[in-house]
Amino acid sequence: MSRAAPSPEDRHAQHPGTDTGGAAAGSAEAVVDPVRPAGRVLAALSGLREPVVWVLLLIAFFTAVSGKPVDGVLMLIVATGLVWDAGRRALRHPEAGSEPVARRSRLAGGRRRLVAVTALLAGGAVYAGVVGSFSRYSWPATAGIIGLGTIVVLIGWHGPLRARPDGGRLPLAGTLAWIVVLVAGCLWELAALLQQPSITTDSYSHPTISTLTDPMLATSPGRSIVLLGWLALGWYLVER
Amino acid sequence: MTAHNVTIAGYLVAVAGIVLLQVLATRTRAPVPSLGDLLTRAMRSRTGRVGVLVAWAWIGLHFFAR
């Protein structure tokens, strides 16, 4: 027994939080019709239109060929997951964008939030102390980093922890200035990397950031301090 | 000036640029977004959000993991 396809109004009633606008939704459906086989294939592969996916695939390739296959496999898994997720959502709700829906904060109460923050700080200190005590590139350190990284990425996958106001359009000139500075820094690092004797051999004349941080990361306290900074950055990003 | 010093000077210039832009964004009325605003904007979509968090995870992997 066949069932009539729901109208855009029906879908809006069922998924009010994912509607991105009538005109935009209408044009999106006109381009990719998920009912037709070709439309289903296009919808399933819609994630490949995301630049982030291609950046992750490039990182996966270059880290794998530079002797870090674990990094490469993890990046490949995330890139594949993003493509699969975008395709799944495009097939189910072709009018839905990729905007994550903010979860209702379960830490709204001031006291509960204080308890949670204290627990996170204590947990972070223990984590940095324990993982920092392991030597670099050891399997215990690898497991600790992969475990926490996986948890944080999965948390982010489900959307922001709390709704943030839409800041509107960013000023173009200032945004371009940031892009220039950040890309220039990355290119400078890349130039140093390419001037090494080989991609896995350090150079004193052209040190990469990794080479410059080696002395600090050679000691257990140094590793713990860097891990604390890494944790703080991760917390800051999850809260965005 | 040796190549070593030139390389490090390049990193310091990049860091100085980041600090300068952040100061302009937060202490003046210059039309410059803060780094936090940029990250929030980049993380508005799911792919952007996952991409930024994966970049963070990659830093940990790069410096500590096998």
Residue A82, helix vs strand vs coil: helix
Whole-number Å distance between alpha carbons of A161 and A101 = 9
Query: Taking 50 as the threshold, does the pLDDT of residue A16 lie above it?
Result: no
Residue A198, helix vs strand vs coil: strand
Beta carbons within 10 angstroms of residue A21's beta carbon: 11
pLDDT tens-digit map of A60-106: 888 888 778 888 899 999 999 988 888 888 877 655 555 555 555 55
- The verdict on a CB contact (< 8 Å) between B37 and A192 is no
Whole-number Å distance between alpha carbons of A124 and A130 = 10
pLDDT tens-digit map of A187-204: 999 999 999 998 888 899
pLDDT tens-digit map of A213-233: 999 999 999 999 999 999 999
Write down the pLDDT at residue A30. 45
Name the β-bridge partners of A195.
none
Whole-number Å distance between alpha carbons of A161 and A163 = 7
Task: For A162, list phi and psi in degrees, rounded to 5.
Answer: -150, 155
ipTM: 0.94
Write down the pLDDT at residue A108. 56
pLDDT tens-digit map of A148-192: 999 999 999 888 877 777 767 899 999 999 999 999 999 999 999
- The verdict on a CB contact (< 8 Å) between B14 and A52 is no
- Mutation target for A interface from B12, B54, B62: give the one with most A CBs within 10 A: B54
Domain-wise residue ranges, chain A: 28-99, 109-163+171-240
Q: What is the mean pLDDT of residues A22-50?
A: 62
Name the β-bridge partners of A198.
A201
